[in-house]
Amino acid sequence: MELPLLLPLLLPLLLLLPPASLQGDHWAQPKARFHSGMNQQKQLSAPEGGSIRIPFSFDYPWDSGRVSNVKISWRWKHFHGDFIYNITPPFIHNNFKNRLLLNWEEGMKKGSLQISNLRREDEGSYFCRVEMITEKYGEQKWQSIQGTELTITHTQTTTLGSTTTAATTTATTAGLGTSENQRHSGSWPLSTEATVGIAGAVLVIAIVGLILCLWWKKRKGLQTKARTPARMMASSMPPSPSTTCPHQPHLHALPPTGAPRKRPCTLP
Output DSSP code: residue 237.
S
Residues 111, 102: contact at Cβ < 8 Å? yes
| H helix runs in the chain, sequence order | 3-16, 157-185, 192-236
Residue-level pLDDT at 165: 44
pLDDT digits (tens, 9 = 90+) for 98-117: 999 999 998 899 999 999 99
DSSP per-residue codes, 84-120: EEETTTTEE-GGGTTTEEEE--TT-SEEEEEE-S--G
Helix (H, G, I), strand (E, B) or coil at 101: strand
The rounded distance, in Å, linking the Cα atoms of 36 and 192 is 62
- Model confidence pTM above 0.85: no
Phi, psi (deg, nearest 5) at residue 126: -125, 130
From first to last of its 268 residues, the chain has per-residue pLDDT tens of 555 665 666 666 656 655 544 444 444 455 678 888 999 999 999 999 999 999 999 999 999 999 999 999 999 999 999 999 999 899 999 999 999 999 999 889 999 999 999 999 999 999 999 999 999 999 999 999 999 999 999 876 544 444 444 444 444 444 444 444 444 444 444 556 667 778 888 888 888 888 888 888 887 776 666 565 555 555 555 555 544 444 444 444 555 555 555 555 555 4
Helix axes 157-185, 192-236, angle to 10 degrees: 60
Residue-level pLDDT at 76: 95
Output DSSP code: residue 116.
-
How far is the CA of 135 from the CAs of 25, 71, 132, in angstroms?
A: 23, 16, 10
CB-side exposure of 240: number of CA atoms within 13 Å? 3
